[in-house]
Structure 1
Amino acid sequence: MIDNYVFNPKSPKYYVKKYLDHHIERFKNKIVIDLPAGNGVTTEILLMNGAKPIAFDLFPEYFMLEGVECKRADIIDKIPVEDNFSDFLICQEGIEHFSDQLKVFKEFNRVIKKNGELIITTPSQSNLASKFSYMLFESETTKLMPPNEIDDIWMSDKEATTEIYYGHIFLVGLQKLRMLGKLSGFKVKEIQYLRLSKGSLVLFPIVYPFIFISSYLRYFKNLKKKKEVPTAIKKEVYREQLKINLSVKNLLTKHTFIVFEKEKQLNEIDFNFKSTMKSFDKIM
């Protein structure tokens, strides 16, 4: 195995391997895009499990798996495959590095087949310690400085690409991930929570009662708004968000592991509740 982190329960790679091994039959003979592929450890696991991985990275020079080509791909531009190409796409520890996350999600939609799956792992910005650190310092954790040009430019090589590989500048929480998925034709299929954030555990008994009460108050308040929208639709959307807000695991996990299913092609997405749309003069 390329990377010993797959055997370390503190690493998200450990949980990705565990998931792939558990669902080995689902991935067998399936086309799986691995992006960013990094050193190639996930591609190697997929190969060992009988899948057909296609590896891409902004800096393929660091791909270590022999006998497999990792092609250069700038996700902000385009993944160099045709539409509806893959059965799965794994974006492991990547979404927090991408500056235009909605554009990235739409590109994921383009390359994944209908009913195919998008698997994302990312440091959780939804846990209590992360929320607290952002409130105090606008940083990922209390140990780190806020994002800056010294610590968060992880790779820049203009001979290879004009794009910069950023650090954790674009961290994203579970509610935003859900919304990015909805805007690009995906529904949440499964959420896993990896390992405990000790700082979040300390904050939990102090903060959770406020989260619980305020979440329910907001839920019922918003059900009364936008009377033109059918109540069943409002309940479906707001309950999904309420469930995320109140999830103890979501508030305590260090990493998020989320599986999306592609419901719609991009041209099929429509959120047009005409009765609730505002004209630009009223918005302004």
Structure 2
Amino acid sequence: MNYEDNPKSIKYYVKRHLIDQKEFYKGKTVVDFPAGNGVTSKILQDVGANPVPIDLFPEYFNIEGLDCIRANVREGLPLEEASADVLICQEGIEHFSDQFEALREFNKVLKPKGTLLITTPNYSNLRARMSYLLSESERYNDIMPPNEIDSIWMSDQTITDEIYFGHIFLIGAQKLRVLAKLAGFRIKKIHFTRRKSTSLLLFPFIYPFIRVSNWITYRKNLRKNKDYDMEVKREVYGEVYRLSIDPKILIQSHLMIEFEKEQEARNVAQGLKSRHKEFGVT
């Protein structure tokens, strides 16, 4: 069975999303990065989109009639600014050493109100949290913590000097949210993927503590940080609190989050306030 037809694979849920939303994707320019072997680009083509496949190792792309562009996100994507309607980053963000700059690059190539769809192993589910507590590994009793033996997934000096890292940079929902926000995106929708059985078993025992603990933290922080008015704090802290107690995030195997570009990345800093004194202020 192909991965895109296997409910245990995140590719299955991406495929289902693209088919369900084919009217939205029809005629749109969609960047597929990293494109891998091209499965998602082929599905995009089938639903009427105009896929733009990009990958660090385009040698592994094997979809006839489509060309995959070589690119390293650290050096920028070889596309014009505001040229894409959608960018799909499927199982890629956890491999990027500078996730913030990657998100800023995604912002640059997307049109205003453009869509960014990110999937990544869910480092916020209960199993992952328990695993990190016990062994600082993504799967305790199964995978060692990140190391130089298991974490180099691809390195071919005859093709490029770049190294394709494994899951060294796993990211949870909260960090992904704030980095995306600082890069000019807002969360539009969290898609549900497959339930993780271990997280489901842990849920009834741990969830009450998660809810109470996060509520206390939320209420405490509303009273702090006098630099922002209450309306702003309720909006920001409220979204963070809802992510913290969202059952979907706590039990599903992968994160699949749809973002919308709400502003240019270069303009984000204008609305931020420093927590520390500005330079020269005594």
TM-score range, shorter chain: over 0.9
Equivalents in 1 of 2:154, 2:272: separation in Å? 44
Per-residue CA deviations over 1:44-69 (Å, capped at 9, x if unaligned) read 00001110000000000000101110
Unaligned runs of 5+ in 2: none
Which residue in the other structure is 1:152 paired with? Answer: 151
Equivalents in 2 of 1:273, 1:123: separation in Å? 30
* 1:271 CA drift (Å): 5.5
Alignment of 1:228-267 (within 5 A): 228-267=227-266
* 1:157 CA drift (Å): 1.1
Are 2:174 and 1:175 aligned?
yes
Q: CA 1:273/1:114 → structure 2, altered by over 3 Å: closer, same or farther?
A: closer
Per-residue CA deviations over 1:15-70 (Å, capped at 9, x if unaligned) read 00100011101111110000000000000000011100000000000001011100
- Matching residue within 58, 69, 72 for 1:71: 69
Alignment of 1:126-141 (within 5 A): 126-141=124-139
Per-residue CA deviations over 1:67-99 (Å, capped at 9, x if unaligned) read 110010101111001111100000001100111
Which residue in the other structure is 1:60 paired with? Answer: 58
Equivalents in 2 of 1:257, 1:226: separation in Å? 32
**Over aligned residues, Cα RMSD in angstroms?**
1.5
Are 2:98 and 1:84 aligned?
no
Counterpart of 1:11, as a letter, is S
**Identical positions, percent:** 51
**What secondary structure is seen at the aligned counterpart in 2 of 1:258?**
strand
Equivalents in 2 of 1:85, 1:170: separation in Å? 28
* 1:273 CA drift (Å): 5.3
Which residue in the other structure is 1:222 paired with? Answer: 221
Which residue in the other structure is 1:279 paired with? Answer: 277
Task: Provide the TM-score with structure 1 as the length reference.
Answer: 0.95
**What secondary structure is seen at the aligned counterpart in 2 of 1:225?**
coil
* 1:227 CA drift (Å): 2.2
Q: How many residue pairs were aligned?
A: 279
* 1:209 CA drift (Å): 1.5
**What secondary structure is seen at the aligned counterpart in 2 of 1:131?**
helix
Which residue in the other structure is 1:8 paired with? Answer: 6
Equivalents in 2 of 1:173, 1:90: separation in Å? 18
Alignment of 1:178-197 (within 5 A): 178-197=177-196
**What secondary structure is seen at the aligned counterpart in 1 of 2:73?**
coil
Which residue in the other structure is 2:40 paired with? Answer: 42
Counterpart of 2:102, as a letter, is V
**Which consecutive segments of 4 or more residues in structure 1 shift more than 2 A?**
270-274
Counterpart of 1:263, as a letter, is E
Equivalents in 1 of 2:261, 2:239: separation in Å? 18
* 1:272 CA drift (Å): 4.5
Equivalents in 2 of 1:195, 1:159: separation in Å? 38
Per-residue CA deviations over 1:205-263 (Å, capped at 9, x if unaligned) read 22112111110000000000012311000000011011111111110011010000001
Equivalents in 1 of 2:248, 2:127: separation in Å? 13
**What secondary structure is seen at the aligned counterpart in 1 of 2:269?**
coil
Equivalents in 2 of 1:131, 1:250: separation in Å? 12
Unaligned runs of 5+ in 1: none
Equivalents in 2 of 1:94, 1:231: separation in Å? 36
Counterpart of 1:118, as a letter, is L
Is this contact kept in 2: 1:88–1:117, CA < 8 A? yes
Equivalents in 2 of 1:204, 1:68: separation in Å? 44
Task: Provide the TM-score with structure 2 as the length reference.
Answer: 0.96
**What secondary structure is seen at the aligned counterpart in 2 of 1:157?**
coil
Is this contact kept in 2: 1:229–1:273, CA < 8 A? no
